[in-house]
Structure 1
Amino acid sequence: MFVERQGYIVSRHTREVGGKIEMSIFIKTPEGTVKVLPDRQLSVFFTDAPLDSLPNNLNGVQCSQSQYRSFNNNLVALVQSASLTLHQQMINVVKQNGYSVFEEDIKAHNRYLMERNIRGAVRFIGVPDSANQTFSQARVIAGDWQPNWKVWSLDIETSVSTNTLLSIGITAADQRIAFVVTDQEYTSPLVQCFTDEKSLLLAFIRYVRKHSPDIFIGWNLIGFDLQFIDQRCHTLGIRPSFGVNGENWNIRSSDNQGKYFASIPGRVALDGITLLKVGGYQFESYSLNNVSKEILDDGKLLHGAERWQEIERLHKEDLDAFVAYNLQDCDLVMRIFEKLKLIELQQTRVDLTGIPFEQTGGSVAAFENLYLPRLHAAGWVAPAWTEEDFVASPGGFVMSSIPGLHKNVLVFDFKSLYPSIIRTFYIDPLARVTATHRKQDSDQSSANLVAGFLGAHFDRQNAILPGLITELAQAREKAKQEHNDILSYAIKIIMNSFYGVLGSNVCRFYHAELASSITMRGHELLARTQAWMEERDAKVIYGDTDSLFVTLNDTQADPQEQGKELCQQINLCLSKWCQDYAQLDSHLELEFERIYERFFMPTIRGQEEGSKKRYAGKSNGELIFKGLEAARTDWTPLARQFQRTLFEKIFSDENPINFIQETISKLRLGEYDDQLIYSKQLSRPLASYTKHKPPHVRAAAMIDQKRAEQGLPLEYNKGRKRVYYVYQRSGVVPYESEKNLIDLDYEHYIEKQIEPIADSILPFFKTSMASLLSQQISLL
């Protein structure tokens, strides 16, 4: 008997069971999370192989002629397989016979949802089992039900010296508990105690199954906490049955990137660090302690490089403090997620694109989910993966700057430049291909073609992306009007990702003509805009990708009104030029963004030529730094604060020389010792640095060598971790505590941290650091 339900997709999976495909969709419903097995479970691909060359009597395989065409404009055959094994065997047969396969890598569950325009919310009917936990023979369609997620913030504590699990902490809206391994007598409503790891893990699995959370959140959750739990389960012979109905999770790592992924049937794992980056948040350090201090004005109860020793001591001697530390980390993560609405952001991305809930990246997947159904509706299949050489498209347009101190610099930005170019000039994978076919057919008119770059043309009648971007742009405008900032931002990052996807050879639609027709058009538009502005008595002192920095010759008029007027005139020029170019309606819009009352553009160090992507300015009382030392986390806190104070003085028309001399004197007296700590992230595992070993690598190597001598696990062998270090007179030394702030090499900091910053502005005051330093020496 069929039963109808509504819900929201939590996870989706495809595997082979008994020689058949099992496509399962775990859906959270008002009654709980259930497993839904859609009917007609088949794996699909297309091929340009003639139908009569394909097996026609193979059990479990069905081949038929489709009405779709490949990008070569040939009809393709549809191959459907009842098992993943048969699917792969058919792909191999086709390739061995010299034919192409199309869309063979799209997982069955993703195709099922994508072709039905299903994103997150669903309705389904199916036959339930006796426990109403699994629905078979199901049919699923898009719905509108919105869930109330049960979220658990999870954090573990481990023993570094023994590489074992000490505790698992959980906080949620209605519970707060720690599972702790201890042989002590200990009673607390917050704690369940166990004599060994195995007992703890088995109890935790039972607890997860009983309370059934939807979403686990944490800090480096998958790469550390879940990966460590998984490792201990395998070591202790425990089945990691953390999924709904006791299904196993799968924690895996990428082969070469050091990233971890979690697939948990019926549940989702979301990492706070990753979601912060998705949300566009930037921090000097993404450590939980630093982020929680900036966001919450709160922090961890213990922090620092040697905190593991204190954790182990507390575990043995003070369980109250140990549990408080564990649960505080859980609380901080929960509060960050709630304050920044990170789960709402991720769900919005799912609602817009249909990517799996656990997929925090996935620009290519998001693009394909939106593009492929439209491509199929137009009668085409996606192109085959090719071995075509990757040709990088030109980057964003960056003009040479006019260095110096300026007043009243107006900044103009193109609104969503690359999406607007795609929309205006019909840049689209299918449109490029059909334009090629149209040009080859002499009987066809080329009136509908729009010229791109590198020889590309685009057929405006068959372009998909412009319409898709129009829909997204209209939805974003509505979100802005309704003050839905999360939806507006989510749409923005999706639209802006299209250029990157088309320019990346990890996307099946990549072609050099596509990305180049976007960026090179951007170059042309900025150059034309510069010319139009200079015809109107404005001087462009710098330009970068989608922005122009302008000074006006008429210094008596109101710069705000001049900026608005100039912006209107340029937008009229853009509209006229698009019409003249190819009778195109312009979706390009220049915006007057801000005025810098004071502005500084440096020279390239040691040269007279103006710098690029580096400047400082003051706008409405706010100091803004781009690319300069004050905005770079690999410079010391002293250097960053020195530059900020320096420009506060310069932009207030103060002579900075006394301040510079005073800073040098105090530095030599040791008054800034705690601000001389360098910080830089390892970009890859420590062992991979073989030829060149920069200072932070040398410092990390010293720490790991010391840990190896003590028999402790290495800290930097996996890379992607921040290293702190200082320069003593003997050279680089890791910074682990204040005991490292001795015998510091002050002359190194003057030469490498203070001098480059000061020398960028001292020529405007007819002096240099060499001169100031020689004056100090003569005074001594």
Structure 2
Amino acid sequence: MFVEKHGYIISRHTREVGGQIEMSLFIKTPEGTVKVLPDKQLSVFFTDAPLDSLPNDVTGVQCTESQLRSFDNTPVTIVQSHSLTIHQQMVSLVKRNGFAVFEGDIKAHNRYLMERNIRGSVRFIGVPDSANQIYRQAKVIAGDWQPEWKVWSLDIETSVSTNTLLSIGITAKDQRIAFVVTKNPIDTDIVYAFSDEKNLLLAFIRYVRTHSPDIFIGWNLIGFDLQFIDQRCQVLGIRPAFGVNGENWNIRSSDNQGRYFASIPGRVALDGITLLKVGGYHFESYSLNNVSKEILDDGKLLQGGDRWQEIERLHREDLDAFVAYNLQDCDLVLRIFEKLKLIQLQQTRVDLTGIPLEQPGGSVAAFENLYLPRLHKAGWVAPAWTEDDFVASPGGFVMSSIPGLYKNVLVFDFKSLYPSIIRTFYIDPLARVSARHESTRHEEQKSKTIKSRLIPGFLGANFDRNKAILPELIAELAQAREEAKRTNNDILSYAIKIIMNSFYGVLGSNVCRFYHAELASSITMRGHELLARAKDWIEERGAKVIYGDTDSLFVTLNDAQIDPQLFGEQLCTEINHCLQVWCNDYAQLESRLELEFEQVYDRFFMPTIRGQEEGSKKRYAGRSKGKLIFKGLEAARSDWTPLARQFQRTLFEKIFNDENPIPYIQETIEKLRAGLYDELLVYSKQLSRPLSSYTKNKPPHVRAAAIIDQKRAEFGQPLEYDKGRKRVYYLYQITGVIPYETTDDLVNLDYEHYIEKQIEPIAESILPFFHTNMESLLSQQISLL
């Protein structure tokens, strides 16, 4: 008997069961999470192999002609399989015979959802089992139900010396629980004590199954916490039955960079660091302690390089403090997620694009989910993966700056420049190949009708305005974003912005099947042209462009008596009119381009390239509405010391207030040599790859990390930097680089190194405006001594 329900897809999976595809959707419903098995489960690909060249007597395979065509304008055959094994065998057969395979890598569950325009929310009917946990023969369509998620913040503590699990902490809206390995007596109802790891893990699995969370969140959750739990389950012979109905999870590594992924039937694992980066948040360090201090003004209960030793001591001697430390980490993560609405942002991205809830990034997947159904409806299949050499498109427009100290610098910014270029100039994968086919077909007659349809791009590309899919898709998203702004739905507005801005990167990336150099280049090179034209139009009106970067122009006024705000608004209106006229003259196009007057810097500094007279790029400082803003300079860079960043900020406060900065520079050097800034002299830099891969060139942070790991190896402890992707803290003593672990390391510091490498470069950038240099200032101080 069929039953109808509504719900939201938590996870999706496809596997082979008894020689047949089993596609399963785990859907959260008002009554709980259930497993839904859709009817008519098939794996599909397309090929340009003629129908008569394909086997017609293979059980479980159906080959039929289709109305679709490849990007080579060739009819394609559709191959449907009831088995994943047979699917792969058919793909191999087609390729061996010299034919192309299209969309053969798309997983069955993703195609099923994509082609039905299903994102997250669904309605389904199916035949339930006796426990109402599994629904078979199901039909699924898009729905509108929105769930309330049951979220657990999870954090583990481990013994570095024994490589074992000490505890698992969980916090949620209504609970705080710690599972702890201990033989000490326990007098609290928030701690479950166990004599060993195995009993702890078995109890935790039972607890997860009983209370059934939807989403696990954490900090480096998959790469450390879940991966470590999975590793201990393997060592102890425990089945990792963390999924709904006791199904196993799968924790896997995709590459040698230490990236891990978690597939948990009926549950999702979301990592805070990854979601912050996807959401466009930038921090000097993405450590939990640093992010929580910036976001929450709170932090971890233990800090410092030797924290692991203190954790083990607390576990042995002060269990209450140990549990408090474990649960504080859980609390911090939960509070960060709640304050920044990270789960809402991720769900909104799912609702917009249909990417899996567990997939924080997925720009390519999001693009294909939106583009492929429209492409099929237009009568085409996606191109095959190509082995052609990757040709990088030119980057964004960046002009050499005119260095100097300025007053009243106006900043103009193209609103959503790349999406607007795509809309205005019909840049689109299908439009590109359609233009090529039409140009070839009508080459002899030079049809005016066809010619009027084609819009010139770059690198020889043309785009057929009648076949473009992407401009219409962006128009829909842009309209939805304006509605989101109107209703103050900031999460939706921001999610749409992320999606639209990702389209250029997708088209310029060879991990996308639609990549072609002509596509990305027709976007960026058009951007170059537009900014160059805008620059000319601005300067024709009596202003001076001193810098341009990707989608922005920095303009200074030649007349100090002009009101910068009124002039900026008027200039913006005039340039937008110029854009409309030019687009129409260029190819009868309606301009979707919009220049915005962003802000006025009442004081502004554009430096030279260090040691040269030429103006720098992507580096400046300014003051707008009383706020100092640094771009690319030392004050905004995490690999410079806190002293350097503090020094530069104060230096520009004085300069922008028309104070003489020279006494401050001299005072800073005196205090530095007197040891008053020792705690501000710690460098920090991220290891970009495993320590062992640095063979020829070993920068200072690599040498400092090597010293730490050498000590750990001598004591038989696990290495800290063997996988890379970890921030290193270090100092310069008289004897050279040393790692910074405690304040005891702040001795015998090489102050002259810090003057030369940290203070001098910053001071030298502005001293020419005050008719002196560092050599002169330092010699004055030496003579005073």
- TM-score, structure 1 normalization: 1.00
Give the Å deviation of 1:702.
0.2
Residues 22 and 41 in structure 2, CA contact (< 8 A), matched pair in contact too: yes
Alignment of 1:467-482 (within 5 A): 467-482=472-487
What residue number does 2:513 align with? 508
Q: Partners of 2:251 and 2:81 in 1: how far apart?
A: 28
In 1, Cα distance between equivalents of 2:390 and 2:761? 38
Quote the Cα distance in structure 1 between the aligned partners of 2:297 and 2:391: 47
Report the residue type matching 1:23 in the other structure.
M
Aligned to 1:548: 553
Q: What is the CA–CA distance in structure 1 between the aligned matches of 2:603 and 2:516, rounded to whole Å?
A: 43
Q: Distance in 2 between matches of 1:176 and 1:709?
A: 39
* Matched residue, 1:576: 581
Spell out, residue by residue over 1:728-771, the C-alpha distance to the aligned partner (whole angstroms, 9 max, x if none). Answer: 00000000000100000000000000000000000000000111
Read off the aligned partner of 1:332 and give its amino acid letter: L
- 1:721 to 2:726 alignment: yes
Number of the residue aligned with 1:331: 331
Report the Cα offset of residue 298 of structure 1.
1.0
> Alpha-carbon deviation of 1:100?
0.1
How far is 1:256 from its partner? Answer: 2.7
In structure 2, distance between residues paired with 1:553 and 1:404: 14
Aligned twin of 1:353: 353
**Mapped pair 1:104 → 2:104:** yes
Supply the distance in 2 between the matched residues of 1:278 and 1:385 (Cα, whole angstroms): 26
In the alignment, which residue of structure 2 is the partner of 1:94?
94
- Quote the offset at 1:675 in angstroms: 0.1
Query: Larger deviation: 176-185 or 202-211?
Result: 176-185
Contact 2:257 2:723 in 1 (8 A): no
- Give the secondary-structure state (helix, strand or coil) at the position aligned to 1:446: helix
Out of 486, 496, 500, the residue aligned to residue 491 of structure 1 is: 496
Runs in 1 of length 4+ with deviation above 4 angstroms?
A: none
Asked if structure 1 preserves the Cα contact closer than 8 Å seen for 2:249 and 2:265, the reply is yes
Deviates more, 1:42-51 or 1:272-281: 272-281
Long gaps (5+) in structure 1? none
More deviation in 168-177 or 231-240? 168-177
Distance in 1, Cα, partners of 2:476 & 2:454? 23
1:361: Cα distance to partner?
Answer: 0.6
Q: Deviations over 1:484-532 (max 9, x none)?
A: 1111110001000000000000000000000000000000000000010
Could you say which residue in structure 2 is the equivalent of 1:63? 63
State the match for 2:604 in structure 1.
599
- Matched residue, 2:282: 282
| 1:236 is aligned to 2:236 | yes
Q: Tell me the CA shift for residue 257 of structure 1.
A: 2.5
Q: Within 5 Å, give how 1:420-435 maps onto structure 2.
A: 420-435=420-435
Superposed counterparts of 1:752-771, under 5 Å: 752-771=757-776
| CA distance in 2: counterparts of 1:557 and 1:408, whole angstroms | 10
Shift in Å, 1:388: 1.1
Aligned-pair distance for 1:176? 1.0
Partners in 2 of 1:670 and 1:173 — Cα distance? 47
- Residue correspondence of structure 1 range 287-326 to structure 2 within 5 A: 287-326=287-326
Two-structure CA RMSD over aligned residues (Å): 0.6
Partner of 1:386: 386
Residue pairs, 1:85-234, within 5 angstroms: 85-234=85-234
The letter of the residue matching 1:377 is K
**Structure 2: how far apart are the matches of 1:679 and 1:746?**
17
Cα separation, 1, equivalents of 2:452 and 2:441: 13
Amino acid at match of 1:720: R
Amino acid aligned to 1:540: V
Partner of 2:740: 735
Shift of 1:205: 0.2
Task: Give the Cα–Cα distance (whole angstroms) in 1 for the partners of residues 187 and 167 of structure 2.
Answer: 15
Aligned-pair CA distance for 1:187: 2.6
Counterpart check, 1:519 vs 2:524: yes
**Deviation of 1:285 (Å):** 1.0
Q: Is the Cα–Cα contact under 8 Å of residues 410 and 599 in structure 2 kept in the other structure?
A: yes
Question: Secondary structure in 2 aligned to 1:447?
Answer: helix
Partner Cα separation in structure 2 for residue 381 and residue 729 of structure 1 = 65
Give how far 1:303 is off.
1.4
Distance 1:299 1:556 in 2: 50
| Matching residue of 2:710 | 705
Distance 1:98 1:415 in 2: 47
Q: What SS does structure 1 have at the residue aligned with 2:615? A: coil
Residue 82 of structure 1: aligned partner: 82
Equivalents in 2 of 1:633, 1:419: separation in Å? 31
Question: How much does 1:557 deviate?
Answer: 1.9
Q: Aligned partners of 2:746 and 2:583: how far apart in 1?
A: 62
Partner of 1:440: 440
Compute the displacement of 1:554 (Å). Answer: 2.3
In structure 2, how many angstroms separate the alpha carbons of the residues matched to 1:322 and 1:642? 39
What per-residue deviation string (whole Å, max 9, x for no partner) do you get for residues 45-79 of structure 1? 00000100001010010000011000000110000
Separation in 2, partners of 1:721, 1:304: 14
Q: Deviations over 1:378-434 (max 9, x none)?
A: 000000001111100000010010001011000000000000000000000000000
Displacement of 1:119 in angstroms is 0.4
Q: Secondary structure at the match of 2:452?
A: coil
For residues 25 and 257 of structure 1, what CA distance do their matches in structure 2 show? 30
Residue type matched to 1:412 in 2? Answer: F
1:646 aligns with 2:660: no
The whole-number CA distance in structure 2 between the counterparts of 1:165 and 1:378 is 55
Alpha-carbon separation, structure 1, partners of 2:130 and 2:654: 76
Write the letter of the residue equivalent to 1:475.
A
Counterpart CA distance in 1 for 2:638 and 2:650 is 17
Q: For residues 516 and 567 of structure 1, what CA distance do their matches in structure 2 show?
A: 27
Which is further off, 283-292 or 735-744?
283-292
What CA deviation, in whole Å up to 9, does each residue of 1:422-467 have, x standing for no partner? 0000000000000000000125522100000000000000000000
| Distance in 1 between residues matched to 2:574 and 2:501, nearest whole Å | 26
Moved more, 289-298 or 657-666: 289-298
Which SS does the other structure have where 1:257 is aligned? coil
- Structure 2 residue matching 1:586: 3-state secondary structure: coil
Amino acid at match of 2:775: A
| Structure 2 partner of 1:343 | 343
Contact 2:424 2:590 in 1 (8 A): yes
Look up the match of 2:615.
Answer: 610
Amino acid at match of 2:48: D
Q: Distance in 1 between matches of 2:394 and 2:537?
A: 23
Identity of aligned residues (%): 82
Amino acid aligned to 2:624: S
Which segment drifts farther, 483-492 or 664-673? 483-492
* Distance of 2:751 and 2:559 partners within structure 1: 48
Counterpart CA distance in 1 for 2:574 and 2:172 is 56
1:483 to partner: Cα distance: 1.0
Is 1:749 the counterpart of 2:759? The answer is: no
The Cα shift of 1:143 comes to 0.2
| Partner residue of 1:561 out of 559, 563, 566 | 566
Distance, in Å, in 1 between the alignment partners of 2:550 and 2:111 is 36
Distance 2:175 2:636 in 1: 41
Aligned residue for 1:35, secondary structure, equals strand
Q: Which of 636, 660, 673 does residue 668 from structure 1 map onto?
A: 673
Match of 1:776 in 2: 781
**How far apart are 1:185 and its partner, in Å?**
1.9
Partner letter of residue 577 of structure 1?
A: W
Alpha-carbon deviations, 1:142-161, whole Å to 9, x = none? 00000000000000000000
Which of 621, 630, 633 is equivalent to 2:638? 633
Aligned partner letter, 1:51: L
Q: Distance in 1 between matches of 2:326 and 2:433?
A: 57
